[in-house]
Structure 1
Amino acid sequence: MADTDDKKAFDLAIRLLGEREHSRKEIITKLERRKFSEAAIDKTLERLDQLGLIDDRSFAEHFVGSRSRKKPSGKYKLRYELFQKGISETIIDEILSDYDSSAHCLDAAMKKFPFLKGDDHYKRKKLYAFLANRGFDSHSIRETLDQIFRS
């Protein structure tokens, strides 16, 4: 019985990893939701580690890269999201140390700006709120807004 449980847990983990990269915590959570035993989950994680299929650092790098392209976010939001996905503070700090918040802030603002209606004061206010909600720091936001509204 335990062997089939182990195999089912491993097969599910492989299927999940085939869809996209997952953090260790995400795999654990999804296996627990499916009511797999702790032993089956441990064996699955051990096997995934041996095969090199689960790596939180690689996951975090891909996550940040993907976010940067699709939905630019600030360090605050990225830090929170990575932490929610079970990535350690050490890895988060290393990954985000090279993150250029100002460039991504400008990118996010330029994507949103054409859809804003109203006068400049209103647009500035809405854009500030949008960027703050995306996790950008106030310095990067002010710098970006000055750049956009200076033109």
Structure 2
Amino acid sequence: KGYDRLTSDTVVQKLKQLGLIDDREYCHSFFLSHRDMNGWGPDKIRHALRKKGLPEQLIEEAAGECYDRDTAVEQAVRAGYKKLRSLQRKTDNKQELRIKLNRFLYSRGFDAACCQTAISEILLNQED
């Protein structure tokens, strides 16, 4: 915005002292909101926080607090069920559904193992 570096640094330091800027709290809040409202997986959230320039240590700390394996699978299953409805209108081929669900969940930030677990659960329950 045209301010010199010294002025910007002084203002940021003062805001930190007042507790108005807290990167740790921001990372935690960002993880929770994007997990719960956007259905993003941990990898996509990590990537977004890295792009914002936040320290890796704070990102991993927030990830550990907000995501565990069960939570990730639960989120992937929830997102997968929503996507499955639209995919079923286009195809009923199980293999094609599996591939498209995997691609979708991976793009949402879930790792390969989480995707496979979630897809297996989704397709198993779909048969019932």
Same fold (TM over 0.5): yes
| CA contact 1:71–1:108 (8 Å) conserved in 2 | no
Task: Give runs of aligned pairs for residues 127-142 of structure 1, distance below 5 A.
Answer: 127-142=101-116
Bigger-Rg structure (1/2): 1
Given the alignment, which residue of 97, 107, 111 partners 2:82?
111
Q: Partner residue of 1:78?
A: 45
| CA contact 2:72–2:110 (8 Å) conserved in 1 | yes
| CA contact 1:109–1:127 (8 Å) conserved in 2 | yes
Q: Partner residue of 1:4?
A: none
Deviation per CA, 1:68-98: give whole Å up to 9, x if none. Answer: 1121222221111111112211111111124
Task: Give runs of aligned pairs for residues 28-107 of structure 1, distance below 5 A.
Answer: 34-98=1-65, 99=67, 100-107=71-78
Q: How far apart in 2 are the matches of 1:35 and 1:113?
A: 49
Q: How far apart in 2 are the matches of 1:48 and 1:103?
A: 38
Q: How far apart in 2 are the matches of 1:103 and 1:86?
A: 29
Report which structure shows greater RCO (CA 8 Å, sep ≥6).
2
Q: CA deviation at 1:105?
A: 1.2
- Root-mean-square deviation (CA, aligned residues, Å) is 1.3
Q: CA deviation at 1:56?
A: 0.5
Q: How far apart in 1 are the matches of 2:82 and 2:31?
A: 18
AA partner of residue 118 (structure 1): T
Task: Tell me if 1:124 matches 2:95.
Answer: no
Task: Give runs of aligned pairs for residues 8-23 of structure 1, distance below 5 A.
Answer: none
Q: Partner residue of 1:6?
A: none
Work out the percentage of aligned pairs sharing the same amino acid: 32
Relative to the length of structure 1, the TM-score reads 0.72
Q: CA deviation at 1:140?
A: 0.6
AA partner of residue 59 (structure 1): Y
Secondary structure, aligned partner of 2:32: helix
